[in-house]
Structure 1
Amino acid sequence: MTRTFPGRVDVAVVGSGPCGAAVTRTLGERAPHLTVAVFEAGPQLTPTPGQHIKTIRDPTERAEAQRRSQGTGPAPDGRSARPGTYLLPDGYRTPGEDGLPAAAMSRNVGGMGAHWTGACPRPGESERIDFLPGLDALLDEAERLLNVRHDAFDDAPFTSVVRERLAVAFDSGRGTDRTVRAMPLAVRREPDGRVVWSGADVVFGEATLAGPRVSLYADAHVRRVRMESGRATGITVRDLVHGGEHEVAARAVVVAADALRTPQLLWASGLRPPALGRHLNDQHQVMHAARLRDVTGPDTVAGGASSGVNWVPYTDAEPFHGQVMQLDASPVPLADGDVPVPGSIVGLGWFCAKDVRAEDRVTFDHTRTDADGMPAPRIHYTLTDKDRTSLEAAHKAIRRAVEALGDPLDPEPITLPPGSSLHYQGTVRMGESDDGTSVCDPDGQVWGTGGVYVAGNGVIPTATACNPTLTSVALAVGAARHIAATLD
């Protein structure tokens, strides 16, 4: 870490989350001669940059790290964000629309990768990007960078029971890659059983940030991408520690923020392709909980995991994705003296694919600014009849899952407010051709520019229900490989 900003680099990466880390790591492996600087608007939370906050064992220190991730603006009235994130103070709903009242972001080295659940399912059926050659190879590479395992919690109590019961309820008629299975997770297990969740530190890799040609700057807010004759020439960055703005020349710039702040930076930089900010989509989310029936004693392995995670994959016939977790405690109060068998309480989350429309979008203008003085976002977002039908079907499916597992802990499933998934996509979407419906090409380069790339969940062009991180990291790898070949 340093406060001496460079005058010139080959590649400037804006954002230090898993996608910014994937770009940096790939450039280091593919083109080690290139100089790369990563700029992050938020603070460094852990001694190793980008670690997951669950690596902080002291609860007080962990809570402080979460607080430091929660931005610089005032807390919104009447709405609460989960720890480590912050909400849009205004502009989250346009009158007459549903909006995204729960839309949240984090601001720290490692981005949302410091707070996420580590779920890394692969997209299937129409979730896949059919015009992108080599998608599976990119997903394989993303699994390597994220350290994804498919059996991390197979020794958790009753996880096989949960999987078998869900399979009976859901597997009929599904393709072989869409049957119920363990959730792929970005995690490793230490010999003592301790769980270490992958953050951006794992994606960066130890050798990347230790190398002489890569540098990381925390508390460094990028304000503009500088352009000349349609090509990137660098960035303008504000030092949030000592004040002042600096110009950093670069041959390529990768904007790897999130689905709201990436289009914000492009817009502020005068890069405004017709699709910028459009096709915004969230995954509306349904929650339920169950208590396993007919389990009577501990099904534990010495040193084993306490909580299993299973997956009901998306299909076009059932356009939602189920994440099923065995919980350490009941999410609802139990009767006094009722102590459940470990592993017998199960939380279920069903994520629904959005009916993707250009009308759902984030916009910016010069009349409103956010706490950083950047153009403030305004959300235009509406659930369509198709979305409401999907939600109804998800309610039925999650009830079916609970009935297969045991007894419900709540009478009915709960639909969370729009934006709760934190899986916003589409605002800088990838496209096959420059026809006005996408922001970047299949290599992640913004249409009509030279050397301006985008990375992150916002690049995903399809309607997905699965957790998007694996896919967005895969697309970031593809962008980095193109940069390495172009700047060779």
Structure 2
Amino acid sequence: MSERPYPDAVDVVIVGSGPTGAAYARILGERAPDAVIAMFEVGPTVSDPPGAHVKNIEDSARRTAAQLASQGPAASAETVSNPGAVKSGQRLARAGTFLLEEGYQYPDEDGLPVAAMSSNVGGMAAHWTAACPRPGGAERIPFLPDLDELLDDAERLLGVTTNAFDGSPFGDLVRERLAKAVDAGRIDATRVQRMPLAVHRREDGRLVWSGSDVVLGDVSRDNPNFALYDESLVTRVLVDDGRAVGVEVRDMHSGAVHTVTASFVVVAGDALRTPQLLWASGIRPAALGRYLNDQAQIVFAVRLRDVPSLAAEVPADGTLAEYSGVSWVPFTDDVPFHGQVMQLDASPVPLAEDDPVQPGSIVGLGLFCAKDLQRDDRVEFDDARRDAYGLPAIGIHYRLTDADRAVLARAQQEIVRLGVAVGDPLDPRPFTMPLGASLHYQGTTRMGQRDDGESVCDADSQVWGTRGLFVAGNGVIPTATACNPTLTSVALAVRGARRIAAALAAGMPVHAEDVAYVENQH
């Protein structure tokens, strides 16, 4: 098999094609259009355009094939399309993702039994729910004075809207009933509202869900200096005299290994594999892999009470969809949950055959809980064992604290209260999802204000002690969040990409002590 024509040298290497890697490519294309950029993705291209959400693939057989191709070393494993179908004790991944074969739980620890990843162009953004709420209260990063402006730009890149489901049945009714149970004493920003979603409707009424393709945009696709290489595994970041100078990349087809030199390297994988690559490269800050946090998730389903009948046939124009009528109950410091409330076309639990389901009348409620951050909650790597890609095997140490269990117990009570306010429960008890089910892992490459052993990178996402090396993804978020993290991680990627663009424009390398740039930005 012939070898692929990888470049010998570029200005910027981006490892990973998820929304944060795509954000780096987009911002660099806008601010440093002459920069030569190579993006490497271990998985295949599963959509046209590359990086698109698989829900946009109308043919069900092609959609299923795209999901299977995204499951990396577990392409033949059993999966579930509805995560609510996972029962206690089961280890099943969502379609399009794959689980760790081992190392997900150690004796006397809670672990993350269903910690999952995707390997495909677009990463998890080819499979996500596209929820993009803003962080609030303690979720926010206190040392970023420009956070709101960065979130604005992240919304632009992701194509966030709040009106895509204005035509969905009963959405206003759900929010009205939730508001009566929630809004008292809350400020406007934390009251019940439409969920911000990375989705829009075409003129024909069909939904278009944002993936990395939307983040990349025409700016990247039309950029002759940008190239995306799929099925290309970066095995090592190269460092010389304390500076990242390139990567080693393996062609997954031929097995050949190439060296690509670069002025800057951005590792934009998930919160498990980004620290894995740094570890494999001998880049090992004290906090690498630590402060791992997931969002424990409680789900509950109800049938709306007292709703008018709809037409017998469900419209085919996209008005009803799997996540129609998505509503948001924001996190607050006093109520440390993030609520995602979705009208479902069908019940998430079996109903009797003689019990017909009114379209739009089944509502699924989910509460995500903020974690009590602990340094010992971590992902670690075993140089003596190798994973399916030949990198040091991943192991996860993870425990729920007494504070976590108290929040979970409170969430179980709260979700029933909210559900009863909306409708009649389909099951009297809420279900606690297996740990890891949120797919919202964070903290393992967390940013900080100083190199004190408690963070991996600075406020611009440059790794402490390795100039020119940046990290991206949910792992960079340093706070305990309950809301979906993608919008925040894209906002942080925007900040890092601006830093690189400024350095390229000035014709100088990025240094942690680059005071002039920092002062200009703040």
**TM-score range normalised by the length of the shorter chain:** over 0.9
Structure 1: which 5+ residue stretches go unaligned?
none
Superposition deviation, residue 296 in structure 1:
2.5
Aligned to 1:13: 14
3-state SS of the aligned residue for 1:223? strand
Instruction: Please give the alpha-carbon distance, in whole angstroms, between the structure 1 residues aligned to 2:317 and 2:252.
Output: 44
Match of 1:100 among 87, 109, 112: 112
Instruction: Please give the alpha-carbon distance, in whole angstroms, between the structure 1 residues aligned to 2:138 and 2:129.
Output: 24
CA displacement 1:316-373 (0-9 Å, x = unmatched): 1110101000001011122223222221110111100000110100011311110111
**More off after superposition, 11-20 vs 363-372:** 363-372
Say if 1:209 and 1:216, in contact at 8 Å, map to a contact too: no
3-state SS of the aligned residue for 2:38? strand
In the alignment, structure 1 residue 310 sits paired with structure 2 residue 322: no
In the alignment, structure 1 residue 32 sits paired with structure 2 residue 41: no
Aligned to 2:241: 229
Aligned to 1:377: 394
Instruction: Please give the alpha-carbon distance, in whole angstroms, between the structure 1 residues aligned to 2:64 and 2:75.
Output: 18
Superposition deviation, residue 130 in structure 1:
0.7
Aligned to 2:71: 70
Instruction: Please give the alpha-carbon distance, in whole angstroms, between the structure 2 residues aligned to 1:404 and 1:179.
Output: 16
Superposition deviation, residue 73 in structure 1:
5.1
In the alignment, structure 1 residue 210 sits paired with structure 2 residue 227: no
CA displacement 1:366-414 (0-9 Å, x = unmatched): 1111011100111000000000000011111110111101100112000
Superposition deviation, residue 210 in structure 1:
2.5
**More off after superposition, 88-97 vs 295-304:** 295-304
Aligned to 1:262: 274
TM superposition outliers: structure 1 runs of 4+ over 3 Å: 73-78, 299-304
Instruction: Please give the alpha-carbon distance, in whole angstroms, between the structure 2 residues aligned to 1:327 and 1:301.
Output: 15
Aligned to 2:130: 118
Instruction: Please give the alpha-carbon distance, in whole angstroms, between the structure 2 residues aligned to 1:73 and 1:118.
Output: 24
3-state SS of the aligned residue for 1:487? helix
Say if 1:40 and 1:219, in contact at 8 Å, map to a contact too: yes
Q: Which amino acid aligns with 1:313?
A: P
Q: Which amino acid aligns with 1:43?
A: P
Structure 2: which 5+ residue stretches go unaligned?
79-89, 506-522
Q: Please report the TM-score for the alignment, with normalisation by the length of structure 2.
A: 0.91
Match of 1:431 among 448, 451, 457: 448
Aligned to 2:212: 200
**More off after superposition, 50-59 vs 181-190:** 50-59
Superposition deviation, residue 303 in structure 1:
4.7
CA displacement 1:41-86 (0-9 Å, x = unmatched): 0000012110111121111111111111111258779621110000
Instruction: Please give the alpha-carbon distance, in whole angstroms, between the structure 1 residues aligned to 2:33 and 2:418.
Output: 49
Say if 2:68 and 2:76, in contact at 8 Å, map to a contact too: no
Instruction: Please give the alpha-carbon distance, in whole angstroms, between the structure 1 residues aligned to 2:165 and 2:159.
Output: 14
Say if 1:43 and 1:69, in contact at 8 Å, map to a contact too: yes
Aligned to 1:443: 460
Aligned to 2:183: 171
CA displacement 1:137-183 (0-9 Å, x = unmatched): 00000000000001111210000000000000011111221000000
Say if 2:372 and 2:480, in contact at 8 Å, map to a contact too: yes
In the alignment, structure 1 residue 365 sits paired with structure 2 residue 382: yes
Instruction: Please give the alpha-carbon distance, in whole angstroms, between the structure 2 residues aligned to 1:175 and 1:251.
Output: 46
Say if 2:207 and 2:318, in contact at 8 Å, map to a contact too: no
**More off after superposition, 52-61 vs 214-223:** 52-61
Instruction: Please give the alpha-carbon distance, in whole angstroms, between the structure 2 residues aligned to 1:233 and 1:311.
Output: 44
Aligned to 2:358: 341
Match of 1:402 among 408, 413, 419: 419
Superposition deviation, residue 206 in structure 1:
2.0
Identity %: 62
Match of 1:457 among 457, 474, 485: 474
Instruction: Please give the alpha-carbon distance, in whole angstroms, between the structure 1 residues aligned to 2:47 and 2:358.
Output: 35
Instruction: Please give the alpha-carbon distance, in whole angstroms, between the structure 2 residues aligned to 1:325 and 1:331.
Output: 11
Change (3 A) 1:220 1:302: closer
CA RMSD of aligned residues (A): 1.5
Instruction: Please give the alpha-carbon distance, in whole angstroms, between the structure 1 residues aligned to 2:167 and 2:412.
Output: 30
Q: Please report the TM-score for the alignment, with normalisation by the length of structure 1.
A: 0.98
In the alignment, structure 1 residue 422 sits paired with structure 2 residue 423: no
Say if 1:457 and 1:468, in contact at 8 Å, map to a contact too: yes
3-state SS of the aligned residue for 1:282? coil
Superposition deviation, residue 94 in structure 1:
1.2
Say if 1:50 and 1:200, in contact at 8 Å, map to a contact too: yes
3-state SS of the aligned residue for 2:291? coil
Superposition deviation, residue 97 in structure 1:
0.2
Instruction: Please give the alpha-carbon distance, in whole angstroms, between the structure 2 residues aligned to 1:122 and 1:250.
Output: 34
Q: Which amino acid aligns with 2:447?
A: M
